[in-house]
């Protein structure tokens, strides 16, 4: 049996994929909608490089994200890495190059990120992240804006049925600050709360010797989930002024989101604990019907930029474009509107140019097909119309999406131009 070497070199590494035809067009469409949404809220694009020093990307990255990074050496022996997210590069750019602009700064990005992960729900080892960062404002107004942009983006992409889970990690951080816990202990508590596992939580609290009001408040946290009633309950349980301030802040964010008219999409959830070591204020995740995984996530991270020398508060969110494509399906029609034969009439070239200028897709066959062969080719493509130029000058227009007898007509130049103008109106 012949050994097929080309099959071997056609392979892709595990966790990567190619996008083409409708899928690629759908991704482009979604990215366009996202960029337009971000632009309309006043965000401008930031384009950092794909790889940079590992030390830069590792500053502020979680332990897990560090492990997932693709690292390599350059020829000078420096350790480089492919960016695993867009937030750290953005923080670096702002800290080093934009720090003296009048705050706040509104940045958005769309770019590929690279993580050594098992592919799951649209996330592969290379996937596209789109998101925003609002830097230099620590106000509830800034928090509410970022959540509102996330909601606006999901709506603009026509994600049918979604909810955003809004939490506030500084509430629990304030309560825990009195307990004087180490990182490992915090991690265990965080995990129990994140899993909403009360048995585990009780066990950890007992082992750590946390009792009284603090234990009561911590055990209640996984249940502080729902509408604004949660806020009163959380305030009642707050054991110190910073915890109360955290709730007041969240209450103000929620109030602003109500004013924005997006409260129907918000669930308050103080058990939302993801990345407590990284976030310093509100956190949120979006969920859509039909997908068991979050479709977007974000929050406030006031300590990240200080790593790069600019002590600025920041809040942002990101979403994975490929994952969004699992819950929204933009209408894509790759078929050309009009197929023409290649001929040497300047008038035909002008016709194609006019039609393209109106925004329609015109394909001129480059393989010399004409007559029935051209019609058959166009039909196979799913095209709307075929124009074959004759002598005279007359044109045969075939409407491939009509089954009526009049679907093929012979028109003069003027009639054809009128017909073409009709399509694009």
Partner 1 sequence: MEQLTIALPKGRLQHQTLELFAVVGYPVSDEAASGRKLIFEDLSGALRFILAKPADVPTYVGYGAADLGIVGEDVLREGHRDLYEPLGLGIGRCRLVLAGPPEARSRDLRPEIGLRVASKYPRLALEHFEARGITAEIIPLSGSIELAPAVGLADLLVDLVETGRTLRDNGLVELETIMEVQAILVVNRASHKLHFGVIQELIRRLAVEVARRERPGTLGAEVGG
Please list the alpha-helical segments (H only) found in 181-228.
183-194, 198-208, 212-220
Beta-bridge mates of residue 31: none
Structure token pair of residue 253: 């964010």
> Rounded to whole angstroms, how far apart are CA atoms 403 and 199?
67
- Minimum CB distance to partner 1, residue 46 (Å): 30
Q: Are 167 and 283 in contact (CB under 8 A)?
A: yes
- Minimum CB distance to partner 1, residue 312 (Å): 31
Closest CA to 301 of 330, 337, 277: 277
- Minimum CB distance to partner 1, residue 165 (Å): 5
Residue closer to partner 1, measured from CB, 222 or 281: 222
Q: Are 341 and 47 in contact (CB under 8 A)?
A: no
- Minimum CB distance to partner 1, residue 171 (Å): 19
- Minimum CB distance to partner 1, residue 413 (Å): 57
Residue closer to partner 1, measured from CB, 64 or 112: 64
Residue closer to partner 1, measured from CB, 162 or 301: 162
Residue closer to partner 1, measured from CB, 222 or 299: 222
Q: Return the SS3 of 247.
A: helix
Residue closer to partner 1, measured from CB, 133 or 322: 322
- Minimum CB distance to partner 1, residue 292 (Å): 3
Beta strands in 74-125 (DSSP E): 79-82, 105-114
Structure token pair of residue 99: 């720090």
Please list the alpha-helical segments (H only) found in 138-270.
140-156, 169-177, 183-194, 198-208, 212-220, 229-237, 241-259
Q: Which residues would be at the binding site for partner 1 (CB under 8 A)?
A: 121, 161-163, 165, 195-200, 222, 225-226, 267, 269, 285, 287-294
| Residue 314, Cβ density class (10 Å: 0-12 exposed, 13-18 middle, ≥19 buried) | buried
DSSP state, 75? T
Residue closer to partner 1, measured from CB, 253 or 400: 253
- Minimum CB distance to partner 1, residue 98 (Å): 35
| Residue 96: C-alpha distances to residues 13, 93, 309, 310 (Å) | 36, 5, 8, 8
Residue closer to partner 1, measured from CB, 131 or 294: 294
């Amino acid at each position: 049996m012949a050994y097929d070497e080309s099959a071997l070199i056609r392979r892709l590494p595990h966790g990567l994929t190619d996008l083409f035809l409708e899928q690629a067009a759908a991704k482009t469409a979604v990215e366009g909608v996202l960029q337009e949404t971000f632009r309309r809220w006043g965000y401008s694009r930031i384009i950092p490089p794909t790889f940079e020093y590992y030390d830069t990307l590792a500053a502020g990255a979680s332990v897990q994200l560090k492990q997932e990074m693709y690292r390599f050496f350059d020829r000078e022996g420096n350790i480089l890495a492919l960016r695993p997210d867009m937030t750290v590069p953005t923080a670096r750019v702002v800290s080093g190059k934009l720090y003296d602009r009048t705050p706040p700064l509104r940045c958005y990005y769309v770019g590929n990120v690279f993580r050594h992960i098992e592919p799951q729900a649209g996330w592969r080892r290379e996937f596209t992240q789109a998101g925003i960062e609002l830097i230099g404002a620590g106000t509830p107004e800034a928090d509410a804006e970022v959540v509102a942009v996330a909601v606006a983006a999901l709506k603009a992409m026509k994600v049918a049925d979604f909810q955003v889970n809004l939490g506030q990690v500084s509430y629990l951080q304030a309560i825990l600050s009195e307990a004087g816990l180490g990182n490992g202990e915090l991690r265990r508590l965080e995990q129990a709360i994140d899993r909403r596992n009360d048995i585990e939580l009780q066990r950890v609290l007992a082992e750590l010797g946390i009792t009284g009001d603090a234990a009561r408040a911590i055990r209640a946290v996984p249940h502080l989930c729902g509408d604004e009633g949660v806020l009163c309950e959380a305030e009642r349980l707050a054991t110190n002024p910073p915890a109360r301030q955290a709730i007041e802040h969240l209450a103000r964010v929620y109030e602003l989101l109500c004013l924005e008219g997006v409260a129907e999409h918000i669930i308050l959830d103080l058990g939302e604990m993801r990345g407590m070591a990284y976030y310093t204020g509100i956190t949120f995740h979006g969920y859509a019907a039909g997908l068991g995984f979050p479709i977007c996530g974000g929050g406030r991270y006031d300590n990240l930029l200080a790593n790069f020398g600019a002590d600025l508060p920041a809040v942002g969110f990101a979403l994975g474009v490929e994952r969004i494509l699992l819950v929204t399906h933009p209408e894509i029609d790759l078929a050309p509107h009009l197929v023409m034969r290649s001929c040497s009439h300047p008038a035909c070239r002008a016709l194609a140019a006019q039609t393209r200028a109106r925004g329609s897709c015109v394909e001129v066959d480059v393989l010399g097909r004409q007559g029935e062969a051209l019609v058959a080719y166009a039909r196979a493509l799913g095209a709307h119309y075929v124009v074959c130029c004759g002598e005279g000058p007359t044109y045969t227009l075939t409407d491939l999406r009509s089954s009526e007898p009049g679907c093929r007509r012979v028109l003069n130049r003027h009639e054809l131009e009128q017909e073409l103008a009709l399509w694009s109106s």
